[in-house]
Amino acid sequence: MDEYRLSHDSLGEVRVPKEAYWGPQTQRAIENFPISGLRLPRRFIRAQGIIKWAAAKANQEVGALNRDRAKAIIQAADEVIEGRWDSQFVVDVYQAGAGTSQNMNANEVIAHRAQEILGGQIGDVHLVHPNDDVNMAQSTNDTIHVAIHIAGAEAVVHDLIPAISRAENMLKAKQKAWMNIVKTGRTHLQDAVPMRLGQEISGYVGALSYWRNVLSSGVEKLYAIGLGGNAVGTGINAHPQYKSKAIQYVSEKTGLPFHPPDYMFTFIQNLDAVLEVSGLMRGLATAVGKIANDLRLLSSGPRTGIAELKLPAVQPGSSIMPGKVNPVMAEMMNMICYQIIGYDATVQQAVAAAQLELNVMMPVIAYNFLSQISIMTNGLDAFTQKALTDLDIDIDRITGFVEMNTALATALNPYIGYDKAAEVAKTAFREGKTVRQVVLEQKLLTEEQINQALNLERITHPQHET
């Protein structure tokens, strides 16, 4: 019995581990939801701390919370923000609807820590009460939703966008270094007209740039937060000035331009901004997955594949085939991209489950939304460091493929017409010759005309550039 303390909530008596900073409602959640062992991530816990910090400051300023309690709550919330009490956030992702257990987990941890700061005992609620003081002017219904916005915005701005930029900049360097290397283009996985390797890489740079810019714009939707809307949007039990002050303090703590939503009741009922940014994550995953797939194809081999690119060897590739090396970083990136698409599908379905004044699926929305940002950030950084940084080329193979490319006959169209050029291409393929050899043998053009028609510098010069 000494290992536990007796606590009480509105349903009665609960045994809570003696040293735990959580209280009876969190303990009930532990016992009721032994589902996955998954917890909401660090960024979400940080966001909860920011909300409680901002609420305490706002409530003190409007005269609703006395100075000593506010000061203790602010200190305890700061410790949560810093990560000191992460081990005390113990509620499973699959929990009570809307995240009531998660909100109470934060309220109880902060209240008991504040109680301790004021000289009281953990478990006592006479000096600082989880509901009356820490949760003052708040509801699960606004705070969990707001925490998703804060955590998502911070993760996109501080983690994801820099990771995209690092990958983009590395590819830009490759683009510049390889711009004068002519290679075979491929469409339908078949040989196509020549292009420059730098041009091919620029396609990847542009894709990352596009989604970085879209996400930079899309994240602004997360800055609208309905803190102060409380249970259904009316702000019951909150001081009239609480909302504006609390949101102001959230902005102060994060350095991001959070502001009240245009329509408070829309915010409380829906998670439209989260749905939108999640969809952008799906788009980014689609683009990054294509890049990873291309690098796998272009490095396939090393003897019997395309093998124009050489991905760094970072670990042995087979448990049975000695010496085999696989494109593991690209494969890892593909898996991440597929998982993100799955996360987004969960977010979409859960957002669609909103009913009347509330969406009760917020915990699973939070987990899937924040997880996709986290794994894409970590994946891109690993991919950049382990695959893109030392990505290399096989110049002899690239050049050899260009010489044997029958699609070079396309450049003959203005000289001998499509039909005759098609015959040249088929003859070259059938006889294992180059297009140049066939044209010379058949005396279709003079050597000067051939040199002009098959000038790779001219053929691959981007026509839209000056």
pLDDT over 80 at 462, yes or no = no
What pLDDT, on a 0 to 100 scale, did the predictor assign at position 26? Answer: 98
What average pLDDT does the segment 397-401 reach? 95
Residue 358 DSSP code: B
**pLDDT band at 33, cuts 50/70/90?**
very high
What pLDDT, on a 0 to 100 scale, did the predictor assign at position 1? Answer: 46
pLDDT in tens, 184-198: 999 999 999 999 999
CATH class, domain 4-136, is mainly alpha
Q: How far is Cα 137 from Cα 62, in angstroms, rounded to an integer?
A: 11
Q: How far is Cα 89 from Cα 94, in angstroms, rounded to an integer?
A: 14
Active site residues per annotation? 188, 318
Q: Which fold has domain 142-396?
A: Fumarase C; Chain A, domain 2 (1.20.200)
pLDDT in tens, 438-455: 999 999 999 999 999 999
What pLDDT, on a 0 to 100 scale, did the predictor assign at position 310? Answer: 98
Q: How far is Cα 142 from Cα 100, in angstroms, rounded to an integer?
A: 11
pLDDT over 90 at 25, yes or no = yes
Token duo for residue 20: 């735990």
Residues 250 and 199 sit within 8 Å (Cβ to Cβ) = no
Interacting residues of 322 by C-beta distance below 8 A, sequence separation 6+: none
Single-letter amino acid code for the residue at 330: A
pLDDT in tens, 343-354: 999 999 999 999
Residue 158 DSSP code: I
Q: How far is Cα 41 from Cα 59, in angstroms, rounded to an integer?
A: 27
Q: Where in the chain is the domain with CATH 1.10.275.10?
A: 4-136
What pLDDT, on a 0 to 100 scale, did the predictor assign at position 461? Answer: 86
Q: How far is Cα 139 from Cα 117, in angstroms, rounded to an integer?
A: 25
Q: What percent of the chain clears pLDDT 90, i.e. is strictly above it? A: 97
Q: CB burial class (10 A; 0-12, 13-18, 19+) of residue 42? A: middle
pLDDT over 90 at 304, yes or no = yes
Residues 337 and 285 sit within 8 Å (Cβ to Cβ) = yes
What pLDDT, on a 0 to 100 scale, did the predictor assign at position 463? Answer: 67
The pTM score is 0.95
Alpha-carbon torsion (59, 64, 66, 72), positive or negative: negative
What pLDDT, on a 0 to 100 scale, did the predictor assign at position 466? Answer: 36
Alpha-carbon torsion (455, 457, 458, 460), positive or negative: positive
Q: How many helices (H) and strands (E) does the chain have?
A: 18, 6
pLDDT in tens, 105-159: 999 999 999 999 999 999 999 999 999 999 999 999 999 999 999 999 999 999 9
Look at residues 162, 148, 181 and name the one whose alpha carbon lies nearest to residue 359. 148
Q: How far is Cα 421 from Cα 409, in angstroms, rounded to an integer?
A: 6
Q: How far is Cα 436 from Cα 450, in angstroms, rounded to an integer?
A: 7
Residue count of the chain: 466
What average pLDDT does the segment 192-209 reach? 97
What pLDDT, on a 0 to 100 scale, did the predictor assign at position 376? Answer: 98
Who has greater pLDDT, 466 or 33? 33
Q: CB burial class (10 A; 0-12, 13-18, 19+) of residue 250? A: buried
CATH class, domain 404-459, is mainly alpha
Cα angle value 47/49/53 (rounded, 5°) = 120
Residue labelled with tokens 């301790």: 116
Single-letter amino acid code for the residue at 336: I
Look at residues 32, 66, 249, 23 and name the one whose alpha carbon lies nearest to residue 146. 249
CA distances from 225 to 218, 274, 278, 293 (A): 15, 11, 17, 38
Look at residues 139, 138, 104 and name the one whose alpha carbon lies nearest to residue 23. 104
* Cα atoms in the 13 Å half-sphere on the side-chain side of 294: 18
E runs forming strands in 335-463: 392-393
pLDDT over 80 at 465, yes or no = no
Largest CA distance in the chain: 101
Residues 91 and 30 sit within 8 Å (Cβ to Cβ) = yes
Q: Are strands 309-310 and 392-393 parallel, antiparallel or unpaired?
A: antiparallel
Q: Where in the chain is the domain with CATH 1.20.200.10?
A: 142-396
Interacting residues of 253 by C-beta distance below 8 A, sequence separation 6+: 50, 53, 54, 81
Residues 60 and 70 sit within 8 Å (Cβ to Cβ) = yes
Q: How many CB atoms lie within 10 A of CB 170?
A: 19
Average pLDDT, the chain: 96
pLDDT over 80 at 80, yes or no = yes
